[in-house]
């Protein structure tokens, strides 16, 4: 069971409780599930009972007790424990969950974690406005891509834009110049262009640091240039040196693209050996890799909600770092013949490649098959 499937299972439990007359509430459109916090247990936790307590007119713990009975009957759930004021801590059938996760990623491909338009924020339009600054425009562009992946309609406007930002960095905006709109979302990360006084209205206080010349940024090209601007948090000054072009493990962008290339190479080499991927039970796989893949939809949702592409960029680094040791073990060694275990590991490798390719695409960065 993937986190998306678990979220739907939680909503189904609410619906069953309502149909049974145990709760009198409107069934929410979304149930957030995440790794348990301090004091929690199991694989995932949800605070849906706290969300429903007031409209239900019941204490959160009582709502959680009602939902627990319905969740415990669901396939793929092995235990449900209540903690705190009413948190539901859910344990999953790990073997079935891992197989289901890989199968779901392969089914969705690079669009794993996307929200269908019917499930997104219907009728919602977010307008992102940014100053005449290359980083702000790139952040707005990537934020718009991520928001659209979550079913949200977006318009991007900039106070100004240089032709090179489009030709080199690949940014697009819907309007240029002062645009008045109701409740716009300001996108003003720390600027990187020191030409002219640019007042950066940051979401948090930032210690002043020198800005770099935009010529250095543009010399990085599209992929490295966008990564240099998107990987740091909005309140951190980006570094735009040649370190983003170095093909070494010290370069996070290289690790992400290298992991993707290794995953694609595994599929090609497996084809040469005469076998293909088939999701199945996984052994000797770091739980951190499967957890990172399972967390991808949540990261996309959070990056969209906070207009924070840096969250996605750092998540891709986490996936890549967890995947690189595993990718060395996918193919048979020596005189081994391909087995069901190898097919299952190849399926996981292809799932890694799909997540990395999809995430890089949302950042506007190419994911080469060869590196």
**Is the per-residue pLDDT at 187 higher than 90?**
no
Question: What is the C-alpha to C-alpha distance for residues 272 and 312, in angstroms, rounded to an integer?
Answer: 34
* pLDDT 10s digits, 62-121: 999 999 999 999 888 999 999 999 999 999 887 778 888 999 999 999 999 998 765 555
User: Smallest Cα–Cα separation from 350: which of 370, 325, 323?
Assistant: 323
**pLDDT at site 190:** 55
User: Smallest Cα–Cα separation from 316: which of 304, 300, 334?
Assistant: 300
In the chain, the N- to C-terminal Cα span, in Å, equals 34
**Is the per-residue pLDDT at 301 higher than 70?**
yes
Q: If DSSP codes are grouped into helix, strand and coil, which group holds residue 38?
A: coil
Q: Which two tokens stand for residue 304?
A: 């969209």
**Is the per-residue pLDDT at 240 higher than 60?**
yes
Residue 232 is given by DSSP the state: S
Question: What is the C-alpha to C-alpha distance for residues 84 and 40, in angstroms, rounded to an integer?
Answer: 8
Residue showing tokens 């190898």: 342
Q: Say if CB 135 and CB 239 are below 8 A apart.
A: no
Question: What is the C-alpha to C-alpha distance for residues 133 and 192, in angstroms, rounded to an integer?
Answer: 7
Q: Say if CB 314 and CB 302 are below 8 A apart.
A: no
Strands 175-176 and 185-186: unpaired
**Is the per-residue pLDDT at 349 higher than 60?**
yes
């Amino acid at each position: 069971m993937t986190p998306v499937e678990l979220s739907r299972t939680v909503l189904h439990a609410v619906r069953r409780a309502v149909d049974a007359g145990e709760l009198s509430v409107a069934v929410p459109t979304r149930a957030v599930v995440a790794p348990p916090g301090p004091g929690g247990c199991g694989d995932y936790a949800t605070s849906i009972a706290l969300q429903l307590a007031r409209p239900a007119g019941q204490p959160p713990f009582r709502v959680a007790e009602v939902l627990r009975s319905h969740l415990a009957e669901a396939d793929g759930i092995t235990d449900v424990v209540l903690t705190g004021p009413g948190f539901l801590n859910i344990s999953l059938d790990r073997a079935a969950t891992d197989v289901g996760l890989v199968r779901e990623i392969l089914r969705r491909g690079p669009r794993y974690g996307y929200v269908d338009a019917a499930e997104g924020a219907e009728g919602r339009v977010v307008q992102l406005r940014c100053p005449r600054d290359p980083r702000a425009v790139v952040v707005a562009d990537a934020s718009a891509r991520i928001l659209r992946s979550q079913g949200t309609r977006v318009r991007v406007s900039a106070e100004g834009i240089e032709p090179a930002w489009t030709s080199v960095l690949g940014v697009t905006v819907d309007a240029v110049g002062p645009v008045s709109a109701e409740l716009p979302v300001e996108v003003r990360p720390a600027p990187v262009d020191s030409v002219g006084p640019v007042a950066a209205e940051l979401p948090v206080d930032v210690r002043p640091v020198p800005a770099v010349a935009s010529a250095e940024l543009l010399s990085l090209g599209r992929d490295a240039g966008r990564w240099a601007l998107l990987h740091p948090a909005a309140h951190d000054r980006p570094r735009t040196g040649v370190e983003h072009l170095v093909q070494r493990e010290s370069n996070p962008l290289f690790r992400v693209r290298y992991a993707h290339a290794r995953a694609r190479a595994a599929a090609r080499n497996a084809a040469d050996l005469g076998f293909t991927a088939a999701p199945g039970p996984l052994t000797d796989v770091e739980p951190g890799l499967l957890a990172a893949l399972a967390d991808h939809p949540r990261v996309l949702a959070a990056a969209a909600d906070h207009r924070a592409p840096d969250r996605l960029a750092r998540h891709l680094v986490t996936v890549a770092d967890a995947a690189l040791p595993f990718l060395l073990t996918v193919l048979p060694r020596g005189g081994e013949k391909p087995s069901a275990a190898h097919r299952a590991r190849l399926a996981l490798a292809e799932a890694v490649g799909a997540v990395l390719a999809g995430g890089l695409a949302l950042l506007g960065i190419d994911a080469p098959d060869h590196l």
